[in-house]
Structure 1
Amino acid sequence: MLKSEGFKKYFFNTSWLFFEHIVRLVVALFVSVYVARYLGPDQYGLLNYSISFVALFSAIATLGLDQIVIRELVKDRNKRDSLLGTAFVLKVSGAVLAIAILAVGVQFTSNDLFTNLLIFIIAAGTLFQSMNVVDFYYQSKVQSKFSVQVKFWTIMGISLLKVYSIYIGAPLLWFAFLVLLENIILASGFFLIYNLKGLSIFSWHFDLDMAKSLLKSSWPLIFSGIFIGIYMKIDQVMLKEMVDTQAVGLYAAAVKLSEAWYFVPTVIMTSFYPAIIEGKKISDEIYYQRLELLYGTVVWLAILIALPITFLGDWVIQILYGIDYVGAASVLKIHIWAAVFVFIGVANSKWLIIENLEKFALYRTMIGALCNVVLNLMLIPKYGIEGAATATVISYFIAAYLSMLFIGPTQKNFWLSTKSFNLYILFKNLLRFLNERKI
């Protein structure tokens, strides 16, 4: 059982994360709206198509290492330099591999040279994302405030650059460069903050045996990440190929608002992930009580977000994006309900890692990706952007929730997720949690 001091530690860490994400959400949202208005649906669609295309290959760059490295750092902090050094080398190698595969992938599209140029400029940013292993270190120590500072000032700086770019009438190509520049600044910030805290990346070293061990644990997550990229971004890629870039622009505008909330479960689970691991060490009872509380919290937060947006979607789109994007409202009112299953999926993914069941994440995301592609092929020709939104919600429901019922070791987690919709259970666990800590 965590003591009051321990709880305050996690609460303080979560507060930092929420503050940073809320500020980033507000700033990034309004700047993206400003950019969307400036570029118009057609160019904005082309930019988001390029970002989505790169996202299909980003899982190869990360190599599924993120949560694995955090888990290992929590278990043994003495391996810090070898873990971070090995993870860094692996992620750089993964980024190079991802760009090479992407170069092959663009050959199977109808892209012109300009579109491919946008894609490769954005893809170059994956090389610099390797430095986020510093973020993993601070997450493992529940000291996210240091990473928050880097992310906060990066997004503020890039947002100012985007506003200035609009002011001087910058072309579409420049906004692709800003995506790359954001990754460069973020990597530089992580390097700086790590050194300012008396540590040095030059003490990192690569360990071949550790690399094999990490990849042995992460390989299911690599493929899982690929399939996540497919069922999260394939809709925009398919809309461009099956309709046009303007449809992508309208769809992307709605998705920006819908996905803006996806930080909520990530923040909660990131901050309390070490507490859940420690709970498992204490007893199964405490472990599952904490899981029940967290599952119920993220599910009802998603519902509370989705309900008002369902009724106010038309007003929100018209106020933010203007008359040119009015067609995005119907997409927003459908797509926002994907948040319920995304929130469940984020929570479940941590459970799979703790239980060393990473391979089952691969199975369910494979199912979700396949469903999304098939549903998009069926629904986009008939219903356009609304069909793509519907396909996304259904595929998220199947991948993050329903699939667990049909996979033996994950059935317990299916029922745990189902109980999260019960408000009575949520309040009971919350009261027990607060009572234990005498808050």
Structure 2
Amino acid sequence: MIVRKIAFNTIISIMARIAGTIIALANIGFITRYLGKDIFGEYVTILSFISIFSIIADLGLYSLLVRDISRPGADEKKIIGNIFSLRLISLIIVLGAAAGISLFFPYRNIVKSGVIIGAFSFFFLSSSQVLIGIFQKYLKMDRVALAEIAGRIVNLALVVWFIQMQLGFLWIVAALTLGSFVNFIVIFLYARSFVPIVLQFDFVFWKKIFKEALPIAISIALTAVYFRLAIILLSVMKPADHVGIYGLAYKVLENLIFFPAMFVGVMMPLLSDYAVSNKEKFKFIFQKSFDILALAVMPVVFGIIVSAKSIILLIGGPDFLTDTPLVLQILAFAIVFIFFGNLFGNSIIALGRQKTAAWIYGAGAIFNIAANIIIIPKYSYFGAAISAIFTEMLVTILMFVLISVNIKFFPSMKTALKALVGALVMYATLSFIGDLSLLWDASIGAFIYFVVIYLLRALNKNDLALFFKARERSRP
């Protein structure tokens, strides 16, 4: 029964996430056509600027909450109450600082005003994000996906309405804030049905949590550099339309990589449990997670490469066709490392090696900043995209080495190679057929990929059955 429930919740979550992604991309489509490249570039600058600070305000609390409430005998009410309180205070301080710091950047006044309005959006998003750990433990991630859909529908509806009313740029930012507020309210109400959420201020506990979370906080803050700082550097070094070109490709990428975060988030309670209680089962779950991510990422990467022009035309319109498709194709290669990086990063936290991981993220951040400063002045958005790929690759490889050494395990690449073969066959077929609509590309590509994967027996029924049965251990 539990296996069926897990499978059902997983399917519902994936379907809801896909629907949410479609809504988000439609929203971007309306915004890009209404604002144009220059103003859209400023819109992306606002979101990226605040995003960096909201990630700093995370303080590693989300990952720590998931880990701690998933362990046997955890005092959920105390952990959640204190961590949620600490998150709210950190957000108020850090996002307030973001609004103040933006005043010193060479942006138009309307952009600085947008930072203040947008800060409220990230306050609600980050507040709801820390509560998602509750749903992960109780295998109810489908409710998180539904809350996200509710927020995105409100955002889209307001954007369409504001465009029809011919309202200004700041109203588009306000629409995002209102959508985030709806998402937070739904998440909060759902979460209270599992655990009473009461603000707690146990400062001794805060000190303990902060000490443990600091390496995670540093790691998370440093990962914010890879894509978002590139946008900030572009906004300072290049015209706004350059930011718009890179920003649209980045937004497409951002909305297509929901699966690894969702999937690994579901698996985090199990990884945390087995990291302490049973290393062999940890290796088993790690291998199966690695295989599933490999099967998911390969068609996404090659699908984007072959259909980049159609994707950009659909979402951004003809104004963005000049260089944006090529930027998207370059960034597509980073998706491989983002998918596996999610698994590796969370596995490191589960194993309690976050202090070592902080050094890895630090190396990646230094490399990324140096590369962007050198490359962006000459190659603009192309340089930013290339820098992002090599940074993600460096960090992912180093994390992989850390895990392999720590648990003395090197995952099998058999399924990953089969996934690569399937994706290459799909890519070759779509390239041979030529230009079709995006819907036909996606339909034909998916059919070909799944046929090849089935023929190669990349993932059999027994593997999936074992995988879902293993999930029973994460049920409280």
TM-score by length of 1: 0.90
Corresponding position: 1:160 with 2:169: no
Aligned partner of 1:25 among 7, 21, 25: 21
Paired residue for 1:52? Answer: 48
Distance (whole Å) between structure 2 residues aligned to residue 28 and residue 384 of structure 1: 26
Q: Is the 8 A contact 1:13 1:271 kept in 2?
A: no
Paired residue for 2:298? Answer: 303
Distance (whole Å) between structure 2 residues aligned to residue 424 and residue 389 of structure 1: 25
Corresponding position: 1:312 with 2:307: yes
Distance (whole Å) between structure 2 residues aligned to residue 58 and residue 297 of structure 1: 30
SS at match of 1:356: coil
Distance (whole Å) between structure 1 residues aligned to residue 128 and residue 465 of structure 2: 41
Aligned partner of 1:337 among 333, 339, 345: 333
Distance (whole Å) between structure 2 residues aligned to residue 154 and residue 315 of structure 1: 27
Aligned partner of 1:433 among 463, 469, 473: 463
Letter in 2 for 1:228: T
Q: Is the 8 A contact 1:64 1:225 kept in 2?
A: yes
Q: Is the 8 A contact 1:10 1:272 kept in 2?
A: no
Aligned partner of 1:134 among 131, 134, 145: 131
Q: Is the 8 A contact 1:348 1:413 kept in 2?
A: no
Paired residue for 1:272? Answer: 267
Q: Is the 8 A contact 2:54 2:123 kept in 1?
A: no
Please give the residue correspondences for 1:323-334 in structure 2 after superposition, counting only pairs within 5 Å: 323-326=318-321, 327-334=323-330
Distance (whole Å) between structure 1 residues aligned to residue 73 and residue 11 of structure 2: 24
Q: Is the 8 A contact 1:292 1:420 kept in 2?
A: no
Residue 369 to residue 431, structure 1, CA distance change in 2 (3 Å) = same
Q: Is the 8 A contact 2:29 2:317 kept in 1?
A: no
Paired residue for 1:258? Answer: 253
Paired residue for 1:366? Answer: 362
Q: Is the 8 A contact 2:283 2:409 kept in 1?
A: no
The root-mean-square deviation of aligned C-alpha atoms, in Å, is 2.8
SS at match of 2:301: helix
Residue 413 to residue 89, structure 1, CA distance change in 2 (3 Å) = farther
SS at match of 2:167: coil
Deviates more, 1:277-286 or 1:367-376: 277-286
Corresponding position: 1:191 with 2:196: no
Residue 98 to residue 414, structure 1, CA distance change in 2 (3 Å) = farther
Paired residue for 1:218? Answer: 213
Paired residue for 1:123? Answer: 119
Residue 77 to residue 161, structure 1, CA distance change in 2 (3 Å) = farther
Letter in 2 for 1:206: F
Deviates more, 1:337-346 or 1:150-159: 150-159
Letter in 1 for 2:19: V
Distance (whole Å) between structure 1 residues aligned to residue 109 and residue 409 of structure 2: 46
Deviates more, 1:424-433 or 1:383-392: 424-433
How far residue 78 of structure 1 moved from its aligned partner, in angstroms, is 5.4
Quote the sequence identity (%). 22
Q: Which runs of 5+ in 1 are unaligned?
A: none
Corresponding position: 1:97 with 2:97: no
Paired residue for 2:387? Answer: 391
Distance (whole Å) between structure 1 residues aligned to residue 5 and residue 273 of structure 2: 14
TM-score by length of 2: 0.83
How far residue 414 of structure 1 moved from its aligned partner, in angstroms, is 9.0
How far residue 286 of structure 1 moved from its aligned partner, in angstroms, is 2.3
Distance (whole Å) between structure 1 residues aligned to residue 465 and residue 119 of structure 2: 49
Corresponding position: 1:143 with 2:143: no
Deviation by residue 1:170-209 (Cα, 9 ceiling, x = unmatched): 21111111222223222222333345x386434x533223
Aligned partner of 2:31 among 26, 35, 38: 35
Residue 206 to residue 413, structure 1, CA distance change in 2 (3 Å) = farther
Paired residue for 2:167? Answer: 170
Distance (whole Å) between structure 2 residues aligned to residue 65 and residue 18 of structure 1: 25
Residue 264 to residue 62, structure 1, CA distance change in 2 (3 Å) = same
Distance (whole Å) between structure 2 residues aligned to residue 180 and residue 72 of structure 1: 30
Distance (whole Å) between structure 2 residues aligned to residue 126 and residue 315 of structure 1: 31
Distance (whole Å) between structure 2 residues aligned to residue 45 and residue 141 of structure 1: 40
SS at match of 1:109: coil
Distance (whole Å) between structure 1 residues aligned to residue 261 and residue 363 of structure 2: 22
How far residue 340 of structure 1 moved from its aligned partner, in angstroms, is 0.2
How far residue 108 of structure 1 moved from its aligned partner, in angstroms, is 4.8
Residue 206 to residue 14, structure 1, CA distance change in 2 (3 Å) = farther
How far residue 372 of structure 1 moved from its aligned partner, in angstroms, is 1.6
Distance (whole Å) between structure 2 residues aligned to residue 159 and residue 284 of structure 1: 45
How far residue 370 of structure 1 moved from its aligned partner, in angstroms, is 1.6
Aligned partner of 1:65 among 40, 52, 61: 61
> Size of the alignment, in residue pairs?
432
Distance (whole Å) between structure 1 residues aligned to residue 468 and residue 258 of structure 2: 29
How far residue 323 of structure 1 moved from its aligned partner, in angstroms, is 1.7
How far residue 223 of structure 1 moved from its aligned partner, in angstroms, is 1.1
